[in-house]
């Protein structure tokens, strides 16, 4: 059953986007990426350390099968995010950007006003903009109208592992979206990813849930299956919730039943 | 002559091109992006773009990410 995820001009088989931060080692990261089946990973843009020769992250990412999605993590203003995006484009020779404009240090919630402003500027410069945003249907609609190629509402605060806090908002966001909806942040374990996908969103992005797990490679495998399972369940169409039982076995022909009773 | 390189003073014998600066630092131009006075410089023009006194130069690369909290520009 072919069910690709299409964002802008790219087609993905996998609906799982994975980060490259916080792994115990580059080798574990690479193994986790392979186990996850991901076809796109996020990377950050930072000053080169001129005091030591650090190994390039890119040596550990097979860019023939995995696309790079640079982010503007840790940017707190539209200007910082725009500047970082322009550098990322030059460093990666790609115009895709995961746009983050953070509004609060403790929650890492986005500054939606600045996010919208940065989205408009970057779209006008030809970027494919994937903004990280609140689970706010109005914010998502505005970002979409500003030209975002996808909207990426959070499930819960970044790195919190709290799971999907507001499934109803995600349903509304998906219902009104004309671009893909990727749940970005908040996943803690496989069931969280499955729940997100069962809501009908188009994909899930996670970093800490895999990188911070006791066994990142095993968790990456679990996440791969969870995203696939959640997507299949959504497409299959779940049964309605009912307060009382509905028997699965026929009630007719019971050996203890009275003859002729129907 | 002094420039600002990644936020720190950096001494150079005189004006150099970006390519010469990267070479002197042992940096592979294909793995980084360079900004001079807040304007990104296209990789194809590193050999033609000269850095002069007091220029603010940023050299950045991709690092592991997906979670914020690292050092910023």
pLDDT digits (tens, 9 = 90+) for A13-25: 999 999 999 999 9
**Catalytic choice (A22, A30, A52, A98):** A98
Residue A253 pLDDT grade (very low, low, confident, very high; cuts 50, 70, 90):
confident
Q: Which stretches of chain A are DSSP H helices? A: 26-36, 78-92, 112-124, 137-145, 167-176, 190-198, 208-211, 216-236
User: Which range, of A54-63, A130-139, A203-212, A228-237, averages the lowest pLDDT?
Assistant: A54-63
Tokens 């940023």 correspond to: B58
Distance CA A183, CA A132 (A): 9
Q: Is the pLDDT of residue A130 over 90?
A: yes
Name every chain A residue with its beta carbon within 8 A of the beta carbon of B58. Answer: 47, 87
The pLDDT of residue A134 is: 95
How far is residue A212 from each of residues A72, A225, A260, B29, measured CA to CA in Å?
21, 18, 63, 32
If you average pLDDT over residues A112-128, what whole number do you get?
97
Q: For residue range A142-187, list pLDDT tens digits in order.
A: 999 999 999 999 999 988 999 999 999 999 999 999 999 999 999 9
Question: Pick from B28, B24, B18: which is nearest to B55 by CA?
Answer: B18
If you average pLDDT over residues B25-41, what whole number do you get?
92
Residue B70 pLDDT grade (very low, low, confident, very high; cuts 50, 70, 90):
very low
Residue of A nearest to B60 (CA): A47
Q: Which residues pair with A206 in a beta bridge?
A: A18
Residue A70 pLDDT grade (very low, low, confident, very high; cuts 50, 70, 90):
very high
| Mean pLDDT, chain B, integer | 87
Q: Which of B6, B7, B70 sits opposite A44 (nearest CB)?
A: B70
Higher pLDDT, A1 or A196: A196
Residue B31 pLDDT grade (very low, low, confident, very high; cuts 50, 70, 90):
confident
**ipTM entry:** 0.87
Residue of A nearest to B70 (CA): A74
Residue A251 pLDDT grade (very low, low, confident, very high; cuts 50, 70, 90):
confident
Q: Tell me the nearest-neighbour CA distance from A243 into chain B, angstroms.
A: 41
Distance CA A115, CA A76 (A): 10
If you average pLDDT over residues A196-218, what whole number do you get?
96
Candidates A19, A25, A46, A159: best to mutate against B (most CBs of B within 10 A) is A46
| Mean pLDDT, chain A, integer | 93
Please report how many Cα atoms fall inside a 13 Å half-sphere around the Cα of residue A49, on the Cβ side.
9
If you average pLDDT over residues A123-129, what whole number do you get?
98
Hey, are the CB atoms on B62 and A70 less than 8 Å from each other? yes
A18 touches B at CB < 8 Å: yes
Distance CA A215, CA A108 (A): 26
Residue B67 pLDDT grade (very low, low, confident, very high; cuts 50, 70, 90):
low
Which A-chain residues 194-223 have CB contacts (< 8 A) with chain B?
205-208, 211
Q: Which of A44, A74, A80 sits opposite B62 (nearest CB)?
A: A44
Residue B73 pLDDT grade (very low, low, confident, very high; cuts 50, 70, 90):
very low
Q: For residue range A47-69, list pLDDT tens digits in order.
A: 988 887 777 888 899 999 999 99
């Amino acid at each position: 059953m072919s069910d690709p995820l299409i964002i802008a001009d790219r087609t993905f088989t996998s609906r799982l986007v994975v980060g490259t931060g916080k792994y115990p080692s580059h080798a574990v990261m690479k193994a986790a990426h392979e186990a996850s089946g991901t076809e796109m990973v996020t990377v950050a843009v930072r000053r080169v350390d001129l005091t030591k020769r650090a190994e390039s992250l890119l040596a550990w990412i097979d860019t023939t099968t995995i696309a790079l999605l640079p982010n503007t993590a840790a940017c707190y203003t539209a200007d910082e995010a725009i500047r970082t995006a322009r550098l990322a484009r030059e460093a990666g020779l790609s115009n895709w950007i995961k746009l983050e404009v953070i509004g609060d240090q403790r929650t890492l919630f986005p500054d939606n006003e600045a996010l919208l402003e940065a989205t408009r500027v970057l779209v006008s410069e030809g970027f494919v903009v994937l903004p990280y945003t609140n689970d706010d249907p109005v914010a998502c609609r505005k970002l979409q109208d500003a030209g975002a190629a996808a909207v990426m509402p959070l499930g819960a605060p970044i790195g919190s592992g709290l799971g999907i806090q507001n499934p109803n908002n995600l349903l509304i966001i998906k219902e009104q979206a004309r671009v893909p909806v990727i749940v970005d942040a908040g996943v803690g374990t496989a069931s969280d990813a499955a729940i997100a996908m069962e809501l009908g969103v188009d994909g899930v992005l996670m970093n800490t849930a895999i990188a911070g797990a006791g066994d990142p490679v095993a968790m990456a495998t679990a996440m791969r299956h969870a995203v696939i399972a959640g997507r299949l369940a959504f497409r299959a169409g779940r049964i309605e919730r009912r307060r009382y039982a509905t028997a699965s076995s026929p009630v007719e022909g019971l050996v203890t039943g009275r003859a002729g009773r129907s | 002559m002094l420039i600002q390189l990644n936020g720190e003073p950096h001494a150079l014998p005189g004006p150099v091109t970006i390519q010469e600066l990267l070479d002197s630092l042992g940096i592979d131009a294909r793995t980084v992006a360079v900004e001079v006075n807040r304007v990104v410089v296209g990789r194809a023009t590193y050999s033609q773009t000269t850095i002069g006194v007091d220029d603010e130069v940023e050299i950045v690369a991709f690092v592991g990410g997906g979670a914020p909290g690292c050092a910023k520009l």
